[in-house]
């Protein structure tokens, strides 16, 4: 089934998952970062204190994902979406109306949990669970929702801030999201609950990600791209300076990264369905590895462009590959539990990585040396995952259902 046929036959379900992915935008780092200065001023925090606080609430959100993420395996998706949307909107209200920093940080934590965490979890789990033959394409299509938010919202925010206060802009965006969700919640083509709430004894059945050797072997490979790209985004000024480029070049390359994201998501989704996720997983980091080599040995504007485009090609294919691999190895019955574990690890790693990298840069280590470390990390994580990818590749045309340890 091609993309056109998939959209024609399943546009209702794809619309729900797509909107969930787009609604994750308020909790994404790129969106919060646009308001970092006014939020820090409102909470009376310095830039350094805000960074520590942001990492703290991100880690708490990661722990919460482990508790709330698996619920999507038995809660009706419509109810799950409604609860997450209500908590997200209340988080925005707490953040923007905060009378003191504690309430403001609680609001920020709820926005991070329900935005980047549970809304993304909802969209990817629906696409990964409800589509069998076209899973890769479905995940690619709904992933465009996140890309769309990253592509249009920074420019839109910059324009609207001419007329609106930052709080008013958050309220306007939340009203827009609520307006989009009302008809979907009332009339959307929602699938039924995938199963009943398990008893305490039955919860011990099925895969337990943190007890699965295969999960631990795949985890570094699936985390290396978001972790290293987070460092590139956060320390873009230092990166461009050490590579001998400029922030203007970086801004242009960032736009090209968006195009690369979309291209690799759509092409990667097609390849996943044709070749299987394990085969594609063995290759999708290659453009990023080549980009790191170019940045290390050539540098300059070419190095910045290579990093953005190579990273974009990897990031676009990342989520369809990750979710498809989980579904292929352990089936879809417990996909919510599996994705919650992966998402929590992603949140932990991307929350801690900027702090660790900041310490490294403060020690006087150049960003080129950091890029060398990223390349070594990428190579090592890829090598660790190979035994799992090779063993699962033979089963790529028939899902494997593996019990817990």
**How confident is the model at residue 333, as a pLDDT?**
78
Residue where one domain finishes, among candidates 167, 194, 221: 194
10-residue mean pLDDT profile of the chain (405 residues): values are: 80 92 86 81 78 82 86 90 94 87 90 89 88 83 86 83 89 92 92 68 67 90 89 83 89 85 88 87 93 94 94 89 86 83 82 78 89 95 90 47 36
Note whether 32 and 97 are same-domain residues: yes
Q: How far apart (Å, rounded) are the C-alpha atoms in residues 268 and 187?
A: 31
Say whether both 180 and 215 belong to one domain: no
Retrieve residue 14's tokens: 């794809």
The answer to whether residue 118 sits within a structural domain is yes
- pTM beyond cutoff 0.75: yes
The whole-angstrom separation of Cα 244 and Cα 334 is 48
- Residue 394 pLDDT: 35
Same domain, 180 and 301: no
Domain shared by 153 and 218, yes or no? no
Claim to verify: residue 236 and residue 176 sit in the same structural domain? no
C-alpha distances (whole Å) from 12 to each of 17, 72, 77, 185, 191 are: 9, 19, 14, 11, 10
Tokens of 79: 């109810």
pLDDT for residue 85: 95
Q: Which of 133, 164, 194 is the last residue of a domain?
A: 194
Q: Phi/psi at 196 (nearest 5 deg)?
A: -85, 155
Structure tokens at 394: 């033979």
pLDDT at 204: 56
**CATH number reported for the structural domain that contains residue 31 in this entry:** 1.20.1250.20
> Which residues are CB-neighbours of 373 under 8 A, at least 6 positions away?
none
Question: Would residue 199 count as lying in a domain?
Answer: no
Give yes or no: residues 243 and 357 share one domain. yes
Q: Are residues 174 and 236 in the same domain?
A: no
Q: Which of 287, 281, 295, 307 is nearest to 390 (CA)?
A: 281
Residue 2 has what DSSP assignment?
A: -
Helices marked H in 247-334: 247-275, 277-281, 286-297, 300-330
The label of the residue with tokens 């991307």 reads 350
Which residues, other chains included, contact 131 with Cβ-Cβ below 8 Å and sequence gap of 6+?
6, 10, 137, 138, 139
Same domain, 317 and 386: yes
249 found inside a domain: yes
Is there a single domain that holds both residue 284 and residue 385? yes
Q: Can you give the residue range of the structural domain that contains 26?
A: 1-194
Rounded Cα distance, 339 and 267, in Å: 23
What's residue 199's pLDDT?
54
The pLDDT value given to residue 115: 87
Say yes or no: 104 and 153 in one domain. yes
Distances in Å between the Cα of 264 and the Cα atoms of 143, 330, 355, 370, 386 are 11, 25, 30, 26, 22
Question: Which helix H or strand E contains 6, and what residues bound it?
Answer: helix 3-23
Domains in the chain: how many in total? 2
């Amino acid at each position: 089934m091609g993309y056109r046929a998939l959209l024609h036959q399943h546009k209702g379900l794809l619309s729900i998952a797509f909107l969930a992915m787009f609604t994750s935008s308020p909790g994404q780092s790129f969106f919060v970062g646009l308001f970092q200065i006014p939020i820090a001023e409102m909470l009376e925090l310095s830039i350094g204190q805000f960074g520590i606080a942001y990492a703290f609430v991100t880690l708490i959100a990661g722990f919460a994902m482990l508790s709330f993420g698996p619920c999507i395996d038995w809660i009706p998706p419509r109810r799950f979406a409604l609860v997450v949307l209500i908590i997200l909107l209340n988080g925005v209200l707490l953040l923007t109306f905060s009378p003191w920093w504690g309430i403001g940080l609680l609001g920020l934590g709820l926005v991070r949990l329900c935005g980047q965490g549970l809304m993304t979890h909802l969209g990817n789990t629906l696409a990964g669970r409800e589509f069998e033959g076209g899973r890769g394409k479905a995940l690619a299509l709904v992933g465009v929702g996140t890309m769309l938010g990253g592509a249009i919202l920074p420019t839109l925010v910059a324009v609207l801030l001419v007329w609106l206060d930052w709080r008013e802009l958050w309220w306007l965006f939340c009203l827009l999201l609520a307006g989009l969700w009302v008809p979907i919640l009332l009339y959307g083509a929602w699938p039924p609950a995938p199963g009943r709430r398990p008893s305490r004894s039955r919860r011990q059945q099925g895969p337990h990600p943190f007890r699965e050797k295969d999960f631990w072997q795949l985890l570094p490979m699936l985390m290396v791209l978001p972790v290293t790209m987070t460092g590139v985004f956060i320390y873009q000024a230092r990166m461009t300076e050490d590579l001998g480029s400029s922030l203007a070049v970086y801004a242009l390359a960032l736009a090209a990264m968006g195009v690369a994201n979309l291209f690799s998501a759509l092409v990667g989704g097609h390849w996943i369905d044709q070749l299987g996720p394990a085969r594609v997983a063995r290759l999708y980091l290659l453009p990023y590895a080549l980009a790191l080599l170019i940045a290390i040995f050539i540098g300059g504007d070419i190095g910045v462009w290579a990093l953005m485009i190579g990273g974009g090609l990897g990031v676009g294919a990342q989520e369809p590959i990750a979710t498809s691999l989980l579904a292929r190895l352990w089936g879809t019955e417990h996909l919510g539990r599996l994705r919650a574990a992966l998402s929590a690890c992603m949140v932990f790693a991307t929350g801690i990585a900027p702090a660790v990298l900041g310490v490294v840069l403060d020690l006087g280590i150049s960003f080129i040396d950091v890029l060398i470390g990223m390349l070594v990390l990428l190579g090592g994580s890829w090598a660790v995952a190979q035994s799992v990818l090779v063993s699962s590749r033979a089963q790529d045309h028939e899902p494997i259902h593996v019990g817990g340890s």
